[in-house]
Amino acid sequence: MRKILLTLGAIGALVALPGAASAQAYVGPYVAFHDDADFGVGGFVGIPVTEIHEDLAFWGDFGYFFPDSGHEDRDVDYWELNANATFRFPLETPAFTPWVLAGLNLANGSVGHDLGESGNSSDSDTEIGLNLGGGLNFMGGPVQPFVGVKFELGGGDGAMIFAGVSFLLQVANQ
């Protein structure tokens, strides 16, 4: 648990640093399908880092998945915490904007076993890996639907497709 809190604190610091100089942020929910962890839901925050490049942003997210263990006596939990840099490629058409992402993935899987009269047993594993992927934002403006795909190398170790909606928030400069 201590590792998780330290990681959340580090990601919070990363979010706060570019946010102090940024005038806007994007937040929203997403749904996902992971090839190993099945269906998931999550939320994200995206902060443009225009001081470096107008199309660069930091994207932090947390996703919780509902894997099917295939066994009645086994309870499986899986979640991920991601810190990514995204770079968008604006096109002249306002219908959609492609983007790529790269970053870090912290994945946690745990399994609980019901051993009947012998009690319960559990096992948990947390790993760090890399994310590589991309997607499309649709329409411009304060509300943007998006779709994407990412490949996790280490950590979550698999492929994930996701879709969601981002909402523009205005953040006061400090």
Flag whether pLDDT at 3 surpasses 60: no
Q: At 174, is the pLDDT very low, low, confident or very high (cuts 50, 70, 90)? A: low
Per-residue pLDDT band for 10 (boundaries 50, 70, 90) equals very low
Encoded tokens for 162: 């996701």
Number of domains in the chain: 1
Residue percentage of the chain with pLDDT more than 70: 77
* CB-CB contact of 47 with 17 (8 Å): no
Amino acid found at 123: D
**pLDDT score, position 18:** 46
Range of the domain at 163: 2-170
| CATH for 25 | 2.40.160.20
Per-residue model confidence as pLDDT tens digits over 61-106: 999 999 886 666 678 889 999 999 999 998 887 789 999 999 999 9
The per-residue pLDDT for 41 is 98
